[in-house]
Structure 1
Amino acid sequence: MNELTTFDLPTHIAYSQSITANITINLSHSCAQAMSLADLVQLSPVDFTNINLEYASLRGSEELRLAICRYYQQYSQSVLSKSNSLSPDDVVTFCGGQEALAAIYQTVLKPGDEIVVFTPCYPSLISMAEQMGCSVNIVELNQANAWQFSIDEVESLMSAKTKLLVLNSPHNPTGGVIDTNLSKQLLALAIKYQCYLIADEVAQASNYYQLPLTNDYLSYDKAISVGVMSKSLGLAGVRIGWVVSKNQAWLSQLIAVKATGSICISAIDQALAICALMHSNEIIDNNNRLILKNIDLVKHFINEYNHLFEWVEPKAGMLALVKYLGSEGVEVLSANMANNYGVLILPSKLFGLSGNFFRLGLGQNNLSTGLGALKDYCTDFKPT
């Protein structure tokens, strides 16, 4: 009898699931602040009780895809000429960003291919490629360089065998960004080696410092942008992500892969996403104000406890890495915070980074309570 193929949970999910304590605060939350269904539907005059609960279209409704185009063109860092502007035909929707990424990998990669990924990162960006028999070449970001990298580091890992270059800006979990000049160099590398380029832009609207981060990725026919409702908009319960590309032949292949999985998004989620995207300015502005407020809270906290914590302030997005300087190490800190204070802290090793770092979420309205619990830990356990 053949043995069943085994699959492992993503490392950060497995870690969270292993905790038996009652977690009331997630200090590593990766999304902006969620809103209630009642608050969301108040933004729209649509009567949601009249939604026809049939299958949505394979791509997503034209109304939704048009709303995504408008959102993308307002908040994305991509520069598109008027003659090459986005249309609904350039968008395919999925049940969240993870399904979108999995479908991209399935259409682009085959065993023996090589990909380039930056670490730390969302774990599945590496594990999906490894499960497909691909080699993963890693650009290791480090705190000493403020989580930035050089173009030479990237090119040293690329060759004729490189099939995919995976970019993420604003970056999860460091809060680093790819500026306009660097994006041009990265695009030139993708073109030089004729590899696909994923621009993971799920936190694209969380550019609260209004930095110049424009790119021209979508001028390249092998470039793919990924977006989602969960991150900048904070609507993780609306399970919709999307892919944007100007390559219609490739999008047809992507749709074929989707048809073997979820087939379509939920009609309810589709209606809620349209509502949110139509009012994205209000939602994003509120979320970004909260992130900026939370950044100030963390600055004051680290100034007060600078013998135990340090960080590189994020440039965009709602995540940052904090280094813990206590002698017991971040894993002991994490266990004690969960078991004694009901606070979840995810060590950076779960995202491919060794050392005493943890991921800090900046998008939630209970951050001050979580920092208060960290202060209690410092008082109660007296780490040195």
Structure 2
Amino acid sequence: MQMNDFKLECYFGKYEFTAPYLLTQSDCEAMSTGELLALEPEAQEEFMNQWLGYTETWGDPELRKLIAKLYQNMTDEDVLAFHGAQEAIFGYMNVMLGEGDHMIAMYPNYQSAYEVANSIPNCECSKWYIRDKGTHWEMDFDELEALIKPNTKLIAITSPNNPTGYTFTNDEIKRLCAICKKHDLYLFSDEVYKGLELEGEKRDWMADHYDKCASLGVMSKAYGLAGLRVGWLVSKDHETLEKVVKFKHYMSICNSAPSEFLAKVALKHGEKLLERNRQIIRENIKQVDKFFDRYPQIFEKKAITCGPVAYHKLLLDMPVKDFCQMAVEKKGVLLLPSEIYDMEDQYFRMGYGRKNVPESLAKFEEFLIEEKFV
């Protein structure tokens, strides 16, 4: 298998741990092990006595039950745990796609959602574009149906979307699942930001609406616990899960026992962690909106309804990649240009999930002033 470079990770490899002002991060604010253990009585003592042997390939039984409770109609038997979300995506796509298959991927999207298809001979991937409507993003379901071919096997979506922040409404979730059912297609639903709804409407998990849907979740994004490296797939399609677990035997085999213990603690207090991160995002939106309101000649801002990322437009007459390069070199402010998503348009990703967003935003404004963009 020949895989193309993961552009986002290559870019972050240069700057993520050297640039002091990370204004593009897609995860939420993390916490220490001590802070997490303090949420649960007796957890610290139990953690110190955690056995460090192998864990079950499908995941810790209690962890799988806690994950299943996030859904409406799932049990622990519908849950397969992974070492982060990336492993789950890679395993699922390798199992599902083969020579001669066609898939459709929401676009822009996390690269691994479609890159496995590009690595398989005669496997085709079509892009279902998220459309820029000025102040917001939109999806065209008629366009989706027009992309379906006789050999289409799979649709891959991310909602809330990274990088645009676009999020399907519950009515749109039902419509998407109905289209998949009508054409007998598999649905891979990346929902790693589920739980960060900001405008009141709590979204359903897509796997609760369609048996051939695999729903992806992780502790990294909405919960802000990326260091745990614990993710999962949930589906009523046990035949597919059985295939994916056999592929997992060639990857991590099983998760880290301390990580699964800490993930269980986090999920027992999941709503508290999610509300903490929603509040951080809400406060950062206020600050960022004021920033953009001061510079309408430079930026076209996009609204966020769910999740910690937005994909704003640069209105200057210069390539957005050069603008982002200047920001990180001159002021240490890291933004993610649309080039990383193989897009020629003038967009850049901004993250709202960290507590230091106001500080990073102030440095970004200094950059604009010192470089005479204003």
Q: Distance in 2 between matches of 1:99 and 1:113?
A: 21
Aligned ranges for residues 204-243 of structure 1 at < 5 Å? 204-211=194-201, 213-214=203-204, 217-243=207-233
Q: Distance in 1 between matches of 2:242 and 2:281?
A: 38
Deviates more, 1:122-131 or 1:212-221: 212-221
Query: Aligned residues, how many?
Result: 369
Aligned ranges for residues 89-238 of structure 1 at < 5 Å? 89-133=77-121, 134-144=123-133, 146-211=136-201, 213-214=203-204, 217-238=207-228
Residue 63 of structure 1: SS of its match in structure 2?
Answer: helix
Partner of 1:61: 60
Does the 8 Å CA contact 1:327/1:383 hold for their aligned counterparts? no
Q: Distance in 2 between matches of 1:142 and 1:150?
A: 8
Q: Does 1:31 align with 2:27?
A: yes
1:6 CA displacement: 5.1
Report percent identity of matched pairs: 31
Deviations for 1:172-191, whole angstroms, at most 9, x for unmatched residues? 11111111222222112111
Q: Distance in 2 between matches of 1:104 and 1:8?
A: 18
Give the 3 Å change call, closer, same or farther, for CA 96–216 of structure 1 in structure 2. closer
Does the 8 Å CA contact 2:28/2:223 hold for their aligned counterparts? yes
1:212 CA displacement: 5.0
Does the 8 Å CA contact 2:174/2:209 hold for their aligned counterparts? no
Q: Does 1:264 align with 2:254?
A: yes
Deviations for 1:63-107, whole angstroms, at most 9, x for unmatched residues? 11111122x23xxxxxx4xxxx21111100000001001111122
1:249 CA displacement: 2.2
Q: Distance in 2 between matches of 1:197 and 1:249?
A: 14
Residue 62 of structure 2 aligns with an amino acid whose one-letter code is E
Give the 3 Å change call, closer, same or farther, for CA 212–233 of structure 1 in structure 2. closer
Q: Distance in 1 between matches of 2:191 and 2:7?
A: 22
Q: Distance in 1 between matches of 2:32 and 2:361?
A: 24
1:353 CA displacement: 2.8
Q: Distance in 2 between matches of 1:95 and 1:330?
A: 34
Residue 89 of structure 1 aligns with an amino acid whose one-letter code is E
Residue 228 of structure 1 aligns with an amino acid whose one-letter code is V
Q: Distance in 2 between matches of 1:119 and 1:90?
A: 28
Does the 8 Å CA contact 1:202/1:227 hold for their aligned counterparts? yes
TM-score of the aligned structures, taking structure 1 as reference length: 0.92
Residue 215 of structure 2: SS of its match in structure 1?
Answer: strand
Give the 3 Å change call, closer, same or farther, for CA 339–254 of structure 1 in structure 2. same
Unaligned runs of 5+ in 2: none
Does the 8 Å CA contact 1:119/1:352 hold for their aligned counterparts? no
Q: Distance in 1 between matches of 2:158 and 2:66?
A: 23
Q: Does 1:12 align with 2:8?
A: yes
Unaligned runs of 5+ in 1: 74-79
Q: Alignment partner for residue 365 of structure 2, among 349, 355, 375?
A: 375
Q: Distance in 2 between matches of 1:230 and 1:285?
A: 15
TM-score of the aligned structures, taking structure 2 as reference length: 0.94
Q: Alignment partner for residue 348 of structure 2, among 358, 361, 381?
A: 358
Q: Distance in 1 between matches of 2:140 and 2:125?
A: 19
